[in-house]
Amino acid sequence: MVFIAGPCVIESADVLETVAAELARLNHKYNIDIIFKSSFDKANRTSIRSYRGPGLEKGLQMLADIKSKFHLRTLTDIHESYQAQPVGEVVDVIQIPAFLCRQTDLLVAAAQTGKIVNIKKAQFLSGLDMEYPVQKVRESGNQQVWLTERGNIYGYNNLVVDFRNIPDMHRFTDTVIMDCTHSVQRPGAAGGKTGGNREYVPAMALAAKAFGANGFFFEVHPEPDHALSDGPNMLCLSDLETVIKSLI
């Protein structure tokens, strides 16, 4: 199984180290390989007043420090093509955000780094539609492609997960990940911010496993209610071990 976990956005070195220390402990205890995730820039926040992160240069240095100190593989997302090359020099997995999963130049730039490219399925696409983003990466010379399910738009301010997308996406890649925390979001439902229902995260993970998911993505935070991004749908760091145990 692939596990990905970390705070939504880089807030501070203290938060990163608190989370990374717990992930390193779980790696050792359960003999697994959790990939540390955090974003240097959240360019798709609902409001222009929302916190975005420390930026490319500082954020990559902080991720490099985590990788060195805790011996964790790392993942972060990119929003523009020029970010791919410097990000690829630091992280092990480059993530393509859901809303950008059809952006050809972004996919090609990520592919050309030679790193694993994790493409999140857009909220407006089916699992079968993801054949074409995968094709763009592979035809750019990179065979290392993962796909991630994160729910579909369901009316206003709501998402629903069609778990049939998981076996559908397995047609195109061996690794299909369930984003267990973004799938319980309530987009734009909190007055200029994203709401969510973190209580459904453990069940979302187990349901995805039943449908064949072999990767699981959890945004976690020591105090989700005080997080600077995605707090309502993030899992509390202290609850992560219980969820991982249920999956392994």
Q: Where are the domains of the chain?
A: 2-247
pLDDT, tens digit (0-9, with 9 covering 90-100), for 144-192: 999 999 999 888 888 899 999 999 999 999 999 999 999 998 776 455 5
**Is residue 134 within 8 Å of residue 162, measured between CB atoms?**
no
Query: How far apart are the C-alpha atoms of 63 and 49, rounded to whole Å?
Result: 24
Three-state DSSP class for 113?
coil
Report the top-level CATH class of 2-247.
Answer: alpha beta
pLDDT, tens digit (0-9, with 9 covering 90-100), for 208-227: 999 999 999 999 999 999 99
Please give the pLDDT value at position 244. Answer: 97
Determine the average pLDDT of the residues in 19-24. Answer: 98
Please give the pLDDT value at position 230. Answer: 79
Query: How far apart are the C-alpha atoms of 4 and 149, rounded to whole Å?
Result: 13
Q: What is the pLDDT of the chain when averaged over all its residues? A: 94
